[in-house]
Amino acid sequence: MPTPTLDSHRRSVLEGGASIEAATQQALEAARAPSCDKAFIRLFERSALAAASALQAQRHAGAPLPPLAGAAISVKDLYDVAGFPTTAASATMHDAPIAAHDSLAVARVRAAGGVLVGHTNMSEFAFSGVGINPHFGTPLNVAAAALDATTPRAPGGSTSGGATSVAAGAALAALGSDTGGSIRIPAALQGLVGFKNTQRLTPLDGTVPLSTTLDTVCAITRDVGDAVAIHEVLAQRRVALVARPLRAWRLAVPRTLMLDALDGAVAGAFDRTLHALRAGGAHIDDIALPELSEVATINAGGGFSPPESWAWHRRRMAERGGGYDPRVALRIRRGESMSAADYIDLIHARRRWIERMARALQGFDAMLSPTVPIVAPAIEPLRASDEAFFAANGLLLRNPSMVNLLDGCALSLPCQRAGELPVGLMVWSGALADDTVLSVSLAIESALRASAAKAN
């Protein structure tokens, strides 16, 4: 049976007369199933069923349905949803007040007809690419578990529960956030699509911040077409897609940094993907892009997340610091020692680096890289060892975080063969190239599907 998508859901509702209420009930049942264990912090069952009923009545009355047409959408637990607390998956937020209003992103999803299923689990305060949470548990990596249930693997973070909710069938899309890869990492590790748009295109109002400079409102979906649809809702803009064949795009593979330390599965999948795209007519150049090697120096003081998170957490940590995940607290406290002068220097260094990168990327429509250099790591060694945890976390964040620093946009789509652990291909570019990245990604997705069908 084909995997349901936002598009197939809408066609089913509009053309086949499928019940929105029944689809919502199925999503809620999936959210309570073993595959979604630890994926949700709280379900919005009553309000979800009420919203579905209202949309069903709207359809029966012959009124036009909004774009999402009652599609089940999960919400990362850092977005305000009216009537519920926002706790950022932290035990220290146990007494968070009930939100009086939806965050702006949630309000846009609701207005577009999305049925909000529940708040999803996440790395505490969004500060990890691994997805482990000591307070509320770690969601299942659904794709990895389907291949080997005996070795639980990391779901990816920080939008861990969101990815699991989509992979397990509890949501057709997951509203999350991406500060250094927090949408693209779990998408890559669970065989899904994650689109990180240019930050300024989507609203941060009503969210718990990690880094106000880098945080991006975006979503995980099941295919690129759905990524376009949900981005149009979140950004309130029409994406200008360009339907060109692969050979009409100029693509490049940066050889600096992003191909370092690839494990065998990722290296094999990436090489096969480039071969398939070239066989399909794509023009792909290898380029050095040495500017990527400068990032370690720019971020030597820790980057933007520690000082900006410290600004938000410093009073809370003075009162409740002992309740934080120690690995999260360690990184937040790094911001305490950054001076205002160092922070201003960081802002200027980033701006100059973006200018150099923009010149280097001229002439190319998009870059191609592995989203992350490793497949989903086993969880237990990461729980047991800080050294193993931070090593894996650093590897997972390395490639996608470059795009956040660039103020760019990127999409991760699966490129592994059937029966293999998921591997993500990252299509990326600079600021406001979103429509090009989405157009290129659609062409690549189509080419990879054709190549897979031919191989079978």
- Segment 350-360, tens digit of pLDDT: 999 999 999 99
Q: What is the pLDDT of residue 12?
A: 93
CB atoms under 10 Å from CB of 355, counted, come to 10
β-pairing verdict for 40-43 and 115-120? antiparallel
- How far is residue 157 from each of residues 43, 54, 108, measured CA to CA in Å? 20, 34, 24
Q: What is the pLDDT of residue 456?
A: 75
Q: Sorting pLDDT into bands at 50, 70 and 90, what band is 175?
A: very high
N-to-C CA span, the chain: 17
Q: What is the pLDDT of residue 330?
A: 97
Tell me the mean pLDDT in the region 377-391. 98
Nearest residue to 371 via CA among 168, 196, 222, 209: 196
Q: Is the pLDDT of residue 2 over 80?
A: no
Tell me the mean pLDDT in the region 395-416. 98
Tell me how many degrees the CA angle 132-136-140 measures, rounded to the nearest 5: 55
Q: Is the pLDDT of residue 1 over 60?
A: no
232 phi/psi in degrees, rounded to 5? -60, -35
Percent of the residues in the chain that have a pLDDT greater than 70, as a whole number: 100
Q: And the tokens for 363?
A: 């002439």
State pTM to two decimals. Answer: 0.98
Which of these ranges, 3-12, 140-149, 281-290, 337-346, has the smallest mean pLDDT? 3-12
Q: Is the pLDDT of residue 44 over 80?
A: yes
Which of these ranges, 1-5, 125-129, 409-413, 415-419, has the smallest mean pLDDT? 1-5
Q: Which residues have CB under 8 Å from 103's CB, separation 6+?
A: 79, 80, 81, 203, 205, 206, 207
Q: Sorting pLDDT into bands at 50, 70 and 90, what band is 245?
A: very high
Sheet holding 193-196, edge to edge: 40-43, 115-120, 72-76, 173-177, 217-221, 193-196, 409-414, 424-429, 366-370, 250-254, 283-287
Percent of the residues in the chain that have a pLDDT greater than 90, as a whole number: 97
Q: Calculate the average pLDDT of the chain.
A: 97
Q: What is the pLDDT of residues 332-347, one digit of tens each?
A: 999 999 999 999 999 9
Q: Is the pLDDT of residue 289 over 70?
A: yes
Which of these ranges, 40-49, 55-64, 76-85, 198-207, has the smallest mean pLDDT? 55-64
Q: Is the pLDDT of residue 3 over 80?
A: no
Peptide bond into 305 cis (omega under 30): no
Q: Of 2.40.30.10, 3.10.20.740, 3.90.1300.10, 2.60.120.380, which CATH number belongs to 6-299+344-455?
A: 3.90.1300.10
Tell me the mean pLDDT in the region 39-54. 98
Q: And the tokens for 49?
A: 């069923």
Q: Is the pLDDT of residue 154 over 60?
A: yes
Q: What is the pLDDT of residue 455?
A: 84
Tell me the mean pLDDT in the region 356-377. 98
Q: Is the pLDDT of residue 259 over 60?
A: yes
HSE-CB of 422 using CA atoms within 13 angstroms: 32
Tell me the mean pLDDT in the region 430-452. 97
Q: What is the pLDDT of residue 149?
A: 95
Q: Is the pLDDT of residue 394 over 90?
A: yes
Q: Is the pLDDT of residue 391 over 60?
A: yes
Q: What is the pLDDT of residue 14?
A: 86
